[in-house]
Amino acid sequence: MTSRVLLRHPSSSEHETGAHPESPRRIAAIEQVLSAKEWLGWDVRLSPAAPRAAIEAVHPASHVDRIEQLAARGGGMIDADTIVSSGSYDAALHAAGGAIAMVDALLDGPQDELRVAASLHRPPGHHATVGQAMGFCLFNNVAIAAQHALEHGGSRRVMIVDWDVHHGNGTNNIFSRRDDVLFCSIHQWPLYPGTGQAHDVGHGPGKGYSINLPVPGGSGDEVFLSLLEHVVRPAARVYEPSIVLISAGYDAHVDDPIGGCTVTDGGFAAMSASMRALAEELGVPLGIVLEGGYDLAALARGVAITLAVVGAEGSPGLPEVEVHPLARQALERLDGGRWPAPTR
């Protein structure tokens, strides 16, 4: 059996961004498709607002204050890409709160079932660093979820897999000096924000626990899936996380107007199946946190495909995947996957 929980909140539509591609239309498109499919049978719940203490476990109080005060004044621009409106602070609280509630549902769920959950909110989060909102992101939702799992969920180690076309620089920044979170990112490079080169493997106690897998523009299904199958999954077997979280962006889709990669609907289905298989193999829960994706139809289909695959009652099959040269190079950089073993 599979336990499936979906977190959402109407405040996601109150984060107004005008003509910006990260707009309320994204959530509307996703929910229209899912509601037409009767939410794929998932248990749909309203997310709570995140407690301030949970956000401040990742971001300093001054950062939270800036977002709250800017929204209270009616909003404004943080940078050319990042907009705050009067409804943004509440939306951001629920986006973080949904990610926290997702973790609680996963870790409190039936232990004899495969547990999957998704937090479908905006604004997204993976570009938000410790002290800076940027790249459409205000609070780093997946990082807040990971920290909550470690502090309150009994998790010893968390794995974050980021397949958004943009590097999750904020998540990388937050955990770069720690070994209790393994961060793996497949992203187009060069592309905004210009970080995530292969030599960035973390620092100090976190050295070896950031796995950055940059791919050139034009990369498609075979590249992304090989990196997941031949690099990310073997790393997970060594690391043995208590929970796996996906920063699920859909802007690597061939139809996306911002990214330059060529992943298809079938590619996202295979990538989702790979992560479902990983969770089953490790016997751990799997959480999905929405990030980017700016072609509305491709985004909505991608989310629906991911939920259908990871939430299936039977194990989805995986196609045979050849080792792509980029995966082979990554394995060589990681010394065949024999990088530092967990210290706790």
List residues with catalytic annotation.
127
State the Cα–Cα distance between residues 74 and 180, nearest whole angstrom: 39
Distance CA 321, CA 324 (A): 8
| Three-state secondary structure string covering 74-105 | CEEEEECCEEEECCHHHHHHHHHHHHHHHHHH
Helix, strand, coil content of the chain in percent (nearest 5): 40, 20, 40
Alpha-carbon 87 to chain mean position = 23
Contact between 184 and 239 under an 8 Å Cβ cutoff? The reply is no
Tokens 């699920």 map to which residue? 248
Q: Please, what is the angle between helix 61-72 and helix 88-108, to 10°?
A: 130
Cα distance between residue 229 and residue 271, in whole Å: 9
Bridge partner residues of 6 (DSSP): 44, 118
